[in-house]
């Protein structure tokens, strides 16, 4: 049978080729092409099952037909009056009270969780999310690139020889001889290979390669 992937009998289909737009007509048990506007998968001749969300269409639960999402800054509509996914890349978030998109205006916040709470801060410019207030604060710990809190660093300035002390969660300068990057106060991670030093796997310290 035409466009049937699995048959029940010689005259009845069980599974149609949905990938190419065909659905099972429950009245005839034959496959028919889905011709409903902006519908990817039909449930019947007059009802859609999946709409073309990538092009801004959503399934109207009252009519079971596809409609264009026209809510401001909404990428995917849940209904004519409710958004499901907002344009976060341009700073909009879903207001859970109104189910509409609003611009995130919290200072140094890239993605808002609500009007008063941030979800993602501008780490590239040194801001971190304060877990108590859910607002962004400037990271001012010495030689710390990304803070976890006011008193704890997450990423230290390795390029200038600082590493994260796992006991204090603060940055310390790597002072091990010929070590470029420390793991801790007593162990090196990367040695000065351009000057012929290698990492001794037994001591985790740098030693000069003397082999010719």
8 A C-beta contact, residue 50 and residue 39: yes
Q: Looking at residue 211, what is its pLDDT? A: 80
| Contact between 105 and 114 (Cβ < 8 Å) | no
Cα–Cα distance for residue pair 83/11, rounded to 1 Å = 44
Tokens of 131: 């877990």
Cα dihedral 164→165→168→171 (10° resolution): -50
DSSP helix/strand/coil, 160: helix
pLDDT per residue, tens digit, the chain (212 aa), is: 789 999 999 999 999 999 999 999 999 999 999 999 999 999 999 999 999 999 999 999 999 999 999 999 999 999 999 999 999 999 999 999 999 999 999 999 999 999 999 999 999 999 999 999 999 999 999 999 999 999 999 999 999 999 999 999 999 999 999 999 999 999 999 999 999 999 999 999 999 998 86
Q: Of 41, 31, 24, which Cα lies nearest the Cα of 1?
A: 31
What's the pLDDT at 212?
Answer: 64
Q: Are 61 and 79 in contact (CB under 8 A)?
A: yes
pTM over 0.85: no
């Amino acid at each position: 049978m035409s466009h049937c992937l699995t048959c029940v009998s010689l005259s009845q289909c069980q599974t149609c080729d949905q990938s190419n737009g065909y659905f099972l007509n429950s009245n005839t048990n034959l496959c028919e092409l889905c011709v409903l506007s902006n519908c990817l998968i039909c449930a019947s001749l007059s009802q859609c099952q999946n709409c073309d969300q990538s092009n801004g269409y959503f399934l109207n639960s009252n009519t079971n037909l596809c409609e264009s999402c026209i809510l401001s800054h909404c990428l995917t509509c849940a209904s004519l009056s409710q958004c499901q996914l907002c344009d976060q890349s341009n700073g909009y978030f879903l207001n859970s009270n109104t189910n509409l998109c609003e611009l995130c205006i919290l200072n140094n916040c890239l993605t808002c969780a609500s009007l008063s709470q941030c979800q993602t801060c501008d780490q590239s410019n040194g801001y971190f999310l304060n877990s108590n207030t859910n607002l962004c604060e400037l990271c001012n710990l010495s030689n710390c690139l990304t803070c976890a809190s006011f008193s704890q660093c997450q990423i230290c300035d390795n390029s200038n020889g600082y590493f994260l002390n796992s006991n204090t969660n603060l940055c310390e300068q790597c002072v091990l001889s010929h070590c470029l990057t420390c793991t801790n106060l007593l162990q090196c991670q990367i040695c000065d290979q351009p000057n012929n030093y290698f990492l001794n796997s037994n001591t985790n310290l740098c030693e000069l390669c003397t082999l010719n």
